[in-house]
Amino acid sequence: MMSLDALAGVLRVQPGAPRPAALSGQRPDWAARLAVGRPAQSLPDLLGAVFSLCSHAHRLCARAAVDAAQGRNAPLPDTLRGETLREHLRRILLDWPALLTAGPSAEAPRALAACPVLREGASTDNMADWMQHHLLGVAPTQWLAAFERAPQQAFADWRDAGQTWLARRLRDSAALADAPLAAAPPLQVHASDTGLRSLAAAMKQDPAFTRRPRIDGACAETGCWTRLADSALARSASDRFAARLAELVRLALPGGEGRLRSGRIALAPGEGLAWAEMARGLLVHHVLLDGHGDDARIAACHVLAPTEWNFDVDGAVAAALEKLDPAAPDCARRVELLMAAYDPCVRYEVAGVREAAHA
């Protein structure tokens, strides 16, 4: 029986090592392995099960890619806003308390239990009050207005003076999280059909492309700071934490629908591509079909997820790891903050640093 790590993949992190040793390990390409030969209409359920952490976005993209390949123009389901909002909340309420500072948080579990959109009969009706009381300490509209005027300064001002558990935790890690990080160009290939067609051609030409993607021969990075609607300059882990928090606020407030973009392209008869802005960044699905209608089967399936961009052996995270000093007493914390900022969807292990294993 295969281990969980063999099934899901694991990243191996070695701070201070030159690339590609600084960051290695790839996820198995289960989409390509499992989808071929299956009925086209089964693809959304298959990929939703394989990529369980972000199943809603994979189901949406798989359905849209198959529809595009079959020449259908069925409306895309409106699931991105709610599911992405919930994913941001899970990361902030479950992961951040432990990652930002050592020790448990009593306030985060209370916030989690009280969150309207994480309870049965989920609704955003009371999210403004919940965010003010449990996360921000000020009215969300006021917080967002300040952030949109001057993102980095507003976030720092709120963090440094705020009295909520989240502000305090972010403040505790600020000295390390504010340090500049190497960055790759923002992935915005979905800004034009031309860019998406070029991406599809690369995936068709090279079966290994989804494991080591490139745009114009270079790495790129993707996240909630590279959105088409409101991309932001991200120079540090703090900037990326701020972008996630700001997107949570935007999605929770009235008018949050439509902020996350998605789309599809019929590339040729039997060939389609779909994309969606999801919690971790841009997701792309490309399919080739054999046959027509209900008899169509998958001839090829390529899935390009945010983790493959951000955690490439030559990408932004690898470049930041390469510059760390494994002997420094704060190295383990810097690694945790870096990984939390980019948020891989697989487990990672750290070599050569105290407190070196983390899930």
The pLDDT assigned to 98 comes to: 85
Q: What is the pLDDT along the chain (359 residues), one digit of tens a residue?
A: 555 555 567 899 999 999 999 999 877 888 888 999 999 999 999 999 988 878 999 999 999 999 999 999 888 877 899 999 999 999 999 999 888 876 667 889 999 999 999 887 777 789 999 999 999 999 999 999 999 999 999 999 999 999 999 999 999 999 999 999 988 999 999 999 999 999 999 999 998 999 999 999 999 999 999 999 887 889 999 999 999 999 999 999 998 888 899 999 999 999 999 999 999 999 999 999 999 988 999 999 999 999 999 999 999 999 999 999 999 999 999 999 999 999 998 889 999 886 544 43
Q: What is the pLDDT of residue 356?
A: 42
- What residues pair up with 275 in beta bridges, in sequence order? 263, 284
pLDDT the model gives residue 102: 62
189 vs 59: CA distance, rounded Å: 21
Count of alpha carbons within 13 Å of 272, Cβ hemisphere only? 23
Which pLDDT value is given to residue 209? 95
Burial class (CB in 10 A: 0-12, 13-18, 19+), 231: middle
Dist CA 297 CA 228 (whole Å) = 33
Residue with tokens 């990672």: 348
3-state secondary structure of 114: helix
- Strands, E, within the chain: which ranges? 10-13, 23-24, 262-268, 271-278, 281-290, 297-304, 347-350, 357-358
The pTM assigned to this predicted structure is: 0.93
d(CA 314, CA 63): 32
Structure tokens at 346: 């697989």
CA distance 177 to 79: 32
Structural domains of the chain, ranges and CATH numbers in brackets? 30-322 (1.10.645.10)
Predicted local distance difference test score (pLDDT) of residue 114:
92
pLDDT at 26: 72
Q: What distance in Å separates the CA atoms of residue 147 and residue 249, rounded to the nearest whole number?
A: 11
Maximal CA-CA distance, the chain:
62
Q: Give the model's pLDDT for residue 103.
A: 64
Segments in 91-192 forming alpha helices (H): 96-100, 107-114, 127-131, 140-149, 151-161, 165-172, 174-177
Task: Please tell me whether residue 23 adopts helix, strand or coil conformation.
Answer: strand
